[in-house]
Copies of this chain bind each other. A is one copy, B any other.
């Protein structure tokens, strides 16, 4: 089938949509992550928030939101749940009380070790080797940049 056929065809098919491939791959990833994250007591969004804090502790809500591409209206409840789990503490910045600083607790830091088993599982489930995965990841990140432009 000609690559231009989905433009010429009167009815675009679901499988022609890049957005649907990404949308459904995202759901598929969630399903693979679910049992792995259940073992840590985290949801996926909570997990990537922790990954961001493991990479750099003591960030503001705004800084986390910028890295995760999430609004404070999404992040605030997620962070409250992480705090309720005892993994982080949230406190107003003394120098600028508008900002809230998020810091890992000892428990939160310790969780990183247990989370180290996850990426290899995902790599395995992806059916890709490290090089292919890295290339695909980069292409998708580039697409994201274009879309946000």
Interface residues of A (CB under 8 A from B): 3-4, 7, 11-29, 31-33, 44, 48, 51-52, 54-55, 67-70, 112, 119, 122, 125-128, 130-131, 133-134, 136-144, 146-149
CB of A28 within 8 A of CB of B147, answer yes
Is B26 in contact with A23, judged by CB distance below 8 angstroms? yes
Select from chain B the residue with minimum beta-carbon distance to A122.
B19
User: Are B143 and A126 touching (Cβ within 8 A)?
Assistant: yes
Asked if B130 contacts A143 (CB within 8 A), the reply is no
- Residue contact A48 to B22, C-beta cutoff 8 Å: no
B17 in contact with A144 (CB, 8 Å): no
Contact of A29 among B22, B27, B122 (CB under 8 A): B22
Taking the nearest CB of chain B, how far is it from the CB of A128, in angstroms?
7
Q: Is the CB of B136 within 8 A of A18?
A: yes
The 6 closest A-B pairs by CB, nearest first: A127-B146, A28-B147, A21-B140, A25-B144, A18-B137, A26-B26
CB distance from A28 to the nearest CB of B (A): 4
Docked complex Cα distance between A119 and B133 (Å): 27
**Selected A-B contacts with CB under 8 Å, 22 pairs:** A3-B134, A12-B55, A12-B119, A14-B48, A14-B51, A14-B55, A16-B137, A17-B48, A17-B119, A18-B122, A18-B137, A20-B48, A20-B51, A21-B141, A22-B140, A23-B29, A23-B48, A25-B140, A27-B69, A29-B147, A127-B142, A136-B140
